[in-house]
Amino acid sequence: MRYYVLENRQPQGPFEAAELLQRPGFGAASLVCPVGATSASAWVSASSVPEISEALGRQVGEALSIVLSARAPEPEPPAMEEASPAVEVVAVEAVEPETAAAESDGAAADIGSAFAEADGAGPAEGAAAPAKGAASPADKLILVVDDDENFRTLLEANIKREGFRVMTAENGRDAGEKIALSAPDLIVTDLMMPVQGGYEFLRELQANGFHGLPVVVVTGYTLDASTLSALKLEGNVIEVMTKPINMNALVAVLHGCLKTARASPRQKLEKDDWA
């Protein structure tokens, strides 16, 4: 299939999908029209055309794979020597009340993990259990970026139910304007969006100095293994999830990254009652 592309408000082309990717400034938000179409509604964003969207994803994956291959492998940590039986005996005999208290705290953490797993979350990749004295979710602001209003509203409701503060945006450009006014603690963003998509949004975050701002990517597209691995190498990205997502798994990632305490079942019920 060949396409025209809108550049400086003038149609250019036609071009094959591969040729479009070579044009300066071409991206997911660029407007394209297939050859043979005559109506104005035929002009759509490149991200909504499967052939072009897949090509863009492969291009990003290949570029990031090059970066990955250039990195030297990290040295393996030295193997730990096994403790001798004598050391083990001393460790058992040296148990004091303070140690017993620490073990009690560990048991409490295990109980908390059991509640999370019973909730359907399970141990989320990259999400550490909150430490003793974890921060309050009410002190953390999360930005949700998605052009699908229904899905955006669903995410907002579930994240607020965990006690976090939430602001929303419908694309990368809208999100950038809101970040300039109030910087969030974490971002949950879609990849394919009009005006400015997720890939461009990530680049803009990094260009503007937000290298340490954690990002959870949520996408409706199935990513191949190389693209998924390359995407996780982005400095901001801490997790990549595919729609439809497991909400319990998502909130577990949020709590783990921000080191906040999960709301108890009773607290969730109270929030629902007051909603």
Q: Say whether 227 sits in a helix, a strand or coil.
A: helix
Asked if residue 65 lies in contact with residue 230, where contact means CB atoms within 8 angstroms, the answer is yes
Asked if residue 31 lies in contact with residue 43, where contact means CB atoms within 8 angstroms, the answer is yes
Q: pLDDT tens, position by position, for the chain (275 residues)?
A: 888 888 877 788 888 888 888 888 888 778 878 887 766 667 777 777 888 877 777 776 666 566 455 555 555 655 555 544 443 433 434 444 444 444 444 444 443 443 344 344 444 444 444 456 688 999 999 999 999 999 999 999 999 999 999 999 999 999 999 999 999 999 999 988 999 988 899 888 988 888 889 999 999 888 888 888 888 777 789 999 988 889 999 999 999 999 998 876 656 555 555 45
pLDDT of 241: 92
CATH tag, 113-274: 3.40.50.2300
Q: In what order do the strands lie in the sheet with 31-34?
A: 10-16, 2-7, 31-34, 44-45
* pTM score of the predicted model: 0.52
pLDDT of 208: 87
Asked if residue 141 lies in contact with residue 182, where contact means CB atoms within 8 angstroms, the answer is yes
pLDDT of 181: 92
Angle, helices 225-232/50-70, rounded to nearest 10 degrees: 60
pLDDT of 53: 76
Say which residue the tokens 């699908």 belong to: 148
